[in-house]
Amino acid sequence: MADDDLAFKALADPSRRFLLDLLFARDGRTLGELEAELAMTRFGVAKHLRVLEDAGLIVTRRSGREKLHFLNPVPIRLIHDRWIGKYTERAAAALIDLKHELEQQAMTQGTDARTLQVYRVYIKATPQAIWDAITKPEWTVKFGYQAPVDYDLRPGGAFRGLASEVMKEQGAPEVVIDGEVLEADPPRRLVQTWRALFLGEDFTRLTYEIEDEGEGVSVLTVTHDVTGAPQTAAQTAGETPGAGGGWSQTLSDLKTLLETGKALYA
């Protein structure tokens, strides 16, 4: 079954949409926490979560003995770009992603700030190709915010996100993001600190994990710990007006570039 089919099937059920609502309100919940919000058995909730996970709409992470569930907006971002984006102007691209859609449902559950963002995307490309696209400036200028990066891929090495020419024309300094490489295991795992200098917040922690799924498909998981940095959290979640679609849009663009040779907004 195609990725789009799995996502549409998962979203067709109102209970599964409600589970996504709950994770949008507060990410990183356990099965028990989610079960308490629905009038169904623990087994029933677990089955719905499995469907959502198979569709890529949620990602799970272990924290000690607990299994935490996180909303993954990338699949719906991809649906947007495929079925809607081609009929709209680029200015509308950031308006229709999963977080925006769920926000319109007037949720009332939970007010805690999300401090751990987890995104996952399946890409028809090798781990090395994905690694190069993340770490090499000749690739990063082709997708996402279309700006070069500068990595010293050793523990303690510097990371710099440089301004594109368009950004410089708008008054941006040469370096807009900085950080430090904590772990580098090419082409599987990269852990670094990440700070948007224009937001005036402290460093956050960013992890890229790349797994070979076989048959030419790789899985890229991006985990961004934005604890103590609410403006960074809003920016990377695509919730800051006029600042693009954050990680979900960037990863959708990366997938399209590597699979087709052409970026979404080329």
In tens, the pLDDT along 5-35 reads 888 889 999 999 999 999 988 899 999 999 9
Token pair for residue 152? 């010293």
83 versus 196: which is more confidently predicted?
196
72 neighbors 59 (Cβ within 8 angstroms): yes
Token pair for residue 113? 């700030």
The pLDDT value recorded for residue 134 is: 98
| CATH label of the domain that carries residue 226 | 3.30.530.20
| CATH label of the domain that carries residue 48 | 1.10.10.10
Q: Are strands 66-71 and 158-162 parallel, antiparallel or unpaired?
A: unpaired
DSSP string, 163-197: PPHHHHHTT--SEEEEEEEEEEETTTEEEEEEEEG
What's the mean pLDDT in 220-240? 94
The pLDDT value recorded for residue 113 is: 46
The DSSP H or E segment spanning 8 is helix 3-11
Q: What percent of the chain has pLDDT over 70?
A: 86
The string over 126-155, giving b where at least 16 C-beta atoms fall within 10 Å of a residue's C-beta and e elsewhere, is bbebbbbbbbeeebbbbbbbbbebebeeee
Q: Same structural domain for residues 120 and 249?
A: yes
Q: Same structural domain for residues 247 and 136?
A: yes
111, part of any domain: no
The pLDDT value recorded for residue 42 is: 92
Q: Same structural domain for residues 135 and 254?
A: yes
Q: Which domain holds residue 124?
A: 116-260
Nearest Cα to 35, choosing from 46, 21, 26? 46
What's the mean pLDDT in 214-222? 96
Query: How many domains does the chain divide into?
Result: 2
Distance CA 208, CA 191 (A): 6
Helices (H) and strands (E) in the chain, counts: 11, 9
The pLDDT value recorded for residue 75 is: 85
Give the largest Cα separation in the chain, rounded.
Answer: 57
Distance CA 113, CA 226 (A): 10
What's the mean pLDDT in 115-142? 96
In tens, the pLDDT along 179-212 reads 999 999 999 999 999 999 999 999 999 999 999 9
230, part of any domain: yes
Angle at 172 between CA 170 and CA 173, to 5 degrees: 150
Distance of CA 8 to the CA centre of its chain: 19
In tens, the pLDDT along 158-177 reads 999 999 999 999 899 999 99
85, part of any domain: yes
Token pair for residue 169? 């024309």
The pLDDT value recorded for residue 99 is: 47
pLDDT band at 86 (very low <50, low <70, confident <90, very high): low
Q: Same structural domain for residues 93 and 140?
A: no
* Averaged confidence pLDDT in the chain: 87
| pTM for the predicted model, two decimal places | 0.73
Does the structure show a pLDDT above 90 at 97?
Answer: no
53, part of any domain: yes
Domain boundary among 103, 128, 144: 103
Nearest Cα to 220, choosing from 258, 251, 244, 247? 251
Q: Same structural domain for residues 67 and 140?
A: no
95 versus 117: which is more confidently predicted?
117
Q: Same structural domain for residues 77 and 166?
A: no
47 versus 1: which is more confidently predicted?
47
What's the mean pLDDT in 122-127? 96
The pLDDT value recorded for residue 37 is: 92
In tens, the pLDDT along 36-57 reads 999 899 999 999 999 999 998 9
- In 10 A of CB 36, how many CB atoms? 12
Q: Same structural domain for residues 84 and 132?
A: no
What residues does 158 pair with on adjacent strands? 180
